[in-house]
Chains A and B, each alone.
Chain A
Amino acid sequence: MPDTPIDRLARATPSSLARRARGLSDRAIAWVFVTPTILLLLAINIFPLIWTVRLSFTNFAANKPNAEVKWVGLRNYQRILTDPDIWQTMQATAHFLFWTLLLQVVLGFALAWLINRKFRGNDLMTTLIVIPMMLSPAVVGNFWTFLYEPQIGLFNYAVEFFAGIPASSFSMLGSVALAPWAIVIVDTWMWTPFVMLICLAGLRSIPDYIYEAAEVDRASKWRQFWTMTVPMVLPFLMLAVLFRGIENFKMFDLVVQLTGGGPGSTTLLTSIELKREAFEKWRTGYSSAYAIILFVTVFGLASIYVKALNKVKER
C-alpha cells in the first residue's frame, strides 16, 4: 500500500469530515476553494466601489460623521465636470502620461534591443540599468530635487556643459514651462528599465531559426527588424504600456516630492488633486464622484486597450 503525503493527510482527516467531503461533487469542491476569495474580493473591492458610488451622490464629509448627510443627486459630478481647475489637472495628467509612455517605450525598446546582443559585461550592464526602478519613488523624488537645484544641481550643470545655458539661469522645478518636463524626465529615468525588461523578454522569446530563415531569404536587417522583431515584440510592448499607463495615471508620490503640484498648478495631477479633496478638505462625497469619474475613464480606456492587445496577440 503506498504511503504518500496525500494518503497520510487522508488518513489524518476526521472521519466525519471525510464523509462530508466524499459527498461533494467536483463543482462543489471548486466552490469551497473559490468562495473565500470571492468573499474577500467582495469585501475589499466590490463593496467599497458600490459604497463610493453611493457616497458620490451625497455631501458626506468623513471628518463630520455626525453631520446630516444630504442626497445631492448629480451635483458633485456636475461641479467636477464644469470645473476648469479639474480640466487643468486632467490636461497635466494627459501630458505626463503621453510623454512618459512615449519616451519609455522608445528608450526601453532601444535599450532592450542593445542589451539583447551578446557582449562582455552584459549581465552587469543589465543590473546597472535596472537600479533606478528598485529605488523608492520618495527617495528618487528627493534626490532629483537636488539634481535640479539651479545652484548646486548636477542636471543644471550638465545642461550648462553641453548646451552652454548658465546653470543658475533656469529652474526645472520652478518654471511653468519646464516643470511638466522635469517630472517626465524623472519618471522616464526611473521606469524605462521596467519597459526594457519586458521588451527583453519579448526579444528573447523570438527563436533564432526565424532570423536564420530570413538570412537565407536574404532579408535585410532593416526588413527583419520591421517585419519580424517589432511585430513579435509588440504584444510585450503593449503589455508594458498598459502597466505603465495605469501606474502613471495614478502617479502621486514622485510628483508630490518633486513639485508638490506646482509651480502654481502646472504639475497638479489628478491623483494629487483627488487626495487633497478627499483627505485634506474632507469633501468625501465630492471626491467619491471624482474617483468614480477617474475609475470609469481608466476602466474604459484599459478595456479598449486590452481588446486591442488581444487582437495583436491573435495575429
Chain B
Amino acid sequence: MKSHYLAATAAACLTLSISHGAQAEDLTLCWAAWDPANALVELSKEFEAQSGHKMTFEFVPWTNFADRMLNELNSGGKLCDLMIGDSQWIGAGAESGHYIKLNDFFDANGISMSDFVPATVTGYSEWPKGTPNYWALPAFGDVVGWTYRKDWFERPEIQAAFKEKTGRDLTPPATFAELKEVAEFFQGREIDGKTVYGASIYTERGSEGITMGVMDVLYSFGFKYDNPDKPYDMEGFVNSPGAVEGLEFYKALYDCCTPPGASNSYMGEGIDAYKSGQVALQMNFAFTWPGFEVDPNVGGGKTGYLVNPAGPTGERFAQLGGQGISVVSYSEKQDAALEYIKWFAQPEVQQKWWSMGGFSALRSVVEDPAFAASQPYAQTYLDSMAIVKDFWAEPAYASLLQASQKRFHDYVVAGQGTAKEALDGLVQDWTEVFQDEGKL
C-alpha cells in the first residue's frame, strides 16, 4: 500500500514538474563497471542536455557489485537515485521496499510493458513473478550464449582432421553432446604453432560464476527449480535424473576441455581466454559480443555466435542475465529519477542504446526487420532471449546463490562427491533457506 502511495505521489509530482519546469537535480545512477556502463554515460549526455539534470555515475566491478550495492540498499543509503540492479535482486528490492513501484508511473506516462520483450519484463521488472507488478524498466537484455572461432572451423585441414576423428563435418554445435565433442577435438591441438584448448566455461567460486554456468546447462537437461503445482517443493525437480546428468556433463566438460588453471573463471577470464586465442569455444553473456567484433585478434568475421545448445531430449534453454532500471525509494530526487526512466523508455533512445552497444529490450527495436542484420550477433541475441530462464529472484536469493556456489564448485572443480549428492545437498540447503524465510 505504501509503495502504491509513493509511486502515485511520484507520478503526480513528475507530471507537475514537467508542466512547470523541473528543478535541475544532480542524479546518481548505480550500475556495474563494464563496457555497457560506459555506453550509458555517453547516451545519458542527451538526457542531461534535454532535462538540465546532471548525471553522476557510480560503477562497481562485477565481483563486488552485489556486495556493494545490496549493502547500500539494505542500509537505506541515499547514494543511488537510480539503480540498474541485477535481475535476482527484484524480489528483495520489492519486498524490502528498496525500489518504488512503477505501475502508476508507467500508466501516467504511456509506458507499456507489452512493448518490451516478455522474458525481460518477467526477469527484470515483475515481482511476484507472473504478476503485473513492476519495479523496474527493462534496461539491458542479456543472456548466456557461446562464441566460437569461425576462422578455425573454416580451415580445411582442421575440418579434415575433425571428420577423420569423429566421422562428421565440423559445424557449430547444436547440442551439448556435439559441443563436448568439438571441445575435445580442439583440446591440446596445435594451431598456428600454439597449443589451444576446447572451451572456456564459468567456474568462479566467489560470487555467482559457477552457478550461472551450471544453470545454463542444467535447464536443457530437465532441471526445474520447483514443482510447478507446489511452489518451493524441490525434491525430484532440482535433483531429477536429468539434472544429475546435466551436472555430470558440466563436470566432464570442465575436466576434459578447459584450459589449465581455469578453476576460477568468470566473464573477464572468459573474455581473456577467447581474445588471446586460447580456446575454440567460449561460454559468456551476450554483453561481451560487441567487444569481440572490434577486437584485432578475434574480430572482423573470425567469431561466430551460438544460441545455447540443446540438451539430450532436445529441450533448449539459456540462463538470463541483464538488468532493469529502478528508482531507489530512499532517493530524495525521485521525480528527476522517474524523468530519466521516461526518457530512457523512448523508442528513439532505445534504438540509439542498441547502436552504442547496449542490448535494448524494447520490442520495436529488436523486432525491426533491419535488427537481425544490424550486427553479426543480433539474431543469436534474439533467439537466445526467447529461451531464457532465470535463477531464483527471491528476497533470500543471496543465501540460495551461496548454497549453489558451494555445492557446484565442490563437485565440478574440487571433484568431491557425486552429482546426485551435490544436488540432493542443494535441495536440503534451499529447503532450509525457505524454511528460515517462512515459505515452507
Most chain B CB neighbours (cut-off 10 Å) among A62, A150, A260: A260
> Does B260 sit at the interface, judged by CB under 8 A?
yes
Chain B 240-264 interface residues, beta-carbon cutoff 8 Å to A: 259-264
Q: Give the residues in chain B near A150, CB-CB below 8 Å.
A: 260-261
Q: Which residues of chain A have C-beta atoms less than 8 A from B413's C-beta? A: 174, 262-264
Do the beta carbons of A263 and B96 come within 8 Å of each other? no
Known contacts A259-B205, A264-B414; A281 and B263 CB within 8 A of each other: no
Asked if residues B398 and A263 are in contact (CB atoms below 8 Å), the reply is no
Say yes or no: is A282 at the interface (Cβ < 8 Å to chain B).
yes
Question: Is A93 located at the chain interface by the 8 A CB criterion?
Answer: no
Contact B262 A264 (CB under 8 A): no
User: Beta-carbon contacts of B255-282 to A below 8 Å, as 1s and 0s?
Assistant: 0000111111000000000000010000
B261 touching A262, Cβ below 8 Å = no
Return chain A residues, CB-CB under 8 Å to B71. 279
As a 0/1 sequence over residues 162 to 199 of chain A, the CB contacts with chain B under 8 angstroms (1 = contact) are: 00000011010111100000000000000000000000
Residues of A within 8 A of B411 (CB): 264
Query: Could you tell me the distance between the alpha carbons of A162 and B86 in the complex, rounded to whole angstroms?
Result: 48
**Set B96, B263, B406: member contacting A64, Cβ < 8 A:** B96
Contact, CB under 8 Å: B67 / A280: yes
In the complex, number of A-B residue pairs with CB atoms less than 8 Å apart: 88
Identify which of A148, A175, A279, A282 gathers the most chain B CB atoms within 10 Å of its CB. Answer: A282
Question: Considering the complex, which residues of chain B in the window 304-325 have a beta carbon less than 8 Å from any beta carbon of chain A?
Answer: none
Residue in B70, B261, B399 whose Cβ sees the most chain A Cβ within 10 Å: B261
Scan residues 201-238 of chain A and give those whose CB is less than 8 A from a CB of chain B: none
Partner of A171, one of B96, B263, B406: B263
Give the distance to chain A from B394, nearest Cβ to Cβ, in Å.
Answer: 12
Q: Out of B205, B259, B436, which one reaches A260, CB within 8 Å?
A: B205
Contacts of B399 in A (CB 8 A): 280-283
CB < 8 Å: which of A62, A85, A175, A261 contacts B206? A261
Q: How far is the CA of A59 from the CA of B205 in the complex (A)?
A: 27
Task: Answer yes or no: B415 CB below 8 A from chain A CBs.
Answer: yes
**A261: chain B residues within 8 A (beta carbon):** 205-206
| Bound: A71/B179 CA distance, A | 53
A63 cross-chain contacts in B, Cβ below 8 A: 70, 74, 92, 96
CB proximity of B206 to chain A, nearest CB, Å: 3
- Interfacial residues of chain A within 263-283, with CB under 8 A of chain B in the complex: 263-266, 276, 279-283
- Contacting B205 at CB < 8 Å: which of A168, A263, A280? A263
CB nearest to A176 among chain B residues:
B414
> Residues of B contacting A282 with CB < 8 Å?
74, 398-399
B81-97 contact mask (Cβ, 8 Å, vs A): 1 or 0: 00000000000100010
Contact A262-B414, Cβ < 8 Å, known A63-B92, A280-B67, A282-B74:
yes
Asked if B364 CB lies within 8 Å of chain A CBs, one says no
Mark out the residues of chain B between 70 and 126 whose CB falls within 8 Å of any chain A CB in the assembled complex: 70-71, 74, 92, 96
Q: Does B339 count as interface, using CB distance less than 8 angstroms? A: no
Known contacts A63-B74, A63-B96, A279-B71; is A263 also within 8 Å of B409 by CB? Answer: yes
B204 within 8 Å of A by Cβ? yes
Query: Are B261 and A149 in contact, CB atoms less than 8 angstroms apart?
Result: yes
Question: Once bound together, how far apart are the Cα atoms of A263 and B396, in whole Å?
Answer: 25
Complex: A150 Cα to B260 Cα, angstroms = 6
Whether the Cβ atoms of A262 and B260 lie closer than 8 Å is no
- Chain A hits for B205, CB < 8 A: 259-264
User: Contacts A261-B205, A262-B205, A280-B67 given: A173-B414 contact, CB under 8 Å?
Assistant: no
In the complex where A260-B264, A280-B398 touch, is A62 in contact with B414 (Cβ < 8 A)?
A: no
Contact B204 A260 (CB under 8 A): yes
Q: Does B351 contact A (CB under 8 A)?
A: no
Residues from chain B with a CB closer than 8 A to the CB of A148 are 261
Cα(A153)–Cα(B67), bound, Å:
30
Which chain A residues numbered 102 to 151 have a C-beta less than 8 Å away from chain B? 148-151
Of the candidates A262, A280, A283, the one whose C-beta lies within 8 Å of that of B409 is A262
Q: Cβ of B410: which chain A residues have Cβ within 8 Å of it?
A: 264-265
The docked-state distance in angstroms from the alpha carbon of A259 to that of B203 is 11
A256 at interface, CB cutoff 8 A: yes
- Cβ-closest chain B residue relative to A267: B205
Interface string of B40-84 (1 = CB under 8 A from A): 000000000000000000000000001100110010000000000
Chain B residues within 8 Å of A64, by CB: 96
Inter-subunit contact A176/B415 (CB<8 Å)? yes
Contacts of A174 in B (CB 8 A): 261-264, 413
A150 to B263, CA, bound (A): 11
* Chain B min CB distance to A140 (Å): 17
Determine the distance from Cα of A223 to Cα of B83 in the docked complex, in whole angstroms.
70
> In the bound complex, do residue A260 and residue B206 qualify as a contact, i.e. CB atoms below 8 Å apart?
yes
Task: Report the Cα distance A261→B436, complex, angstroms.
Answer: 25
Does B416 sit within 8 A of A, measured CB to CB?
yes
Query: How many whole Å from A276's CB to the nearest CB in chain B?
Result: 6
Question: Which positions 178-219 of chain B face chain A at CB distance < 8 Å?
Answer: 204-206
CB nearest neighbor in B for A168: B260
Please give, as numbers and ranges, the residues of chain A lying within 8 Å of B262 by CB-CB distance: 174
Contact of B260 among A151, A263, A266 (CB under 8 A): A151
Leading 8 A-B pairs by shortest Cβ distance: A264-B414, A174-B263, A260-B206, A262-B205, A150-B260, A264-B410, A150-B261, A260-B205
Query: In the complex, given contacts A59-B436, A259-B264, A264-B415, what are 10 additional A-B residue pairs having Cβ atoms less than 8 angstroms apart?
Result: A149-B261, A171-B261, A173-B261, A261-B206, A262-B205, A263-B263, A263-B409, A263-B413, A265-B410, A265-B414
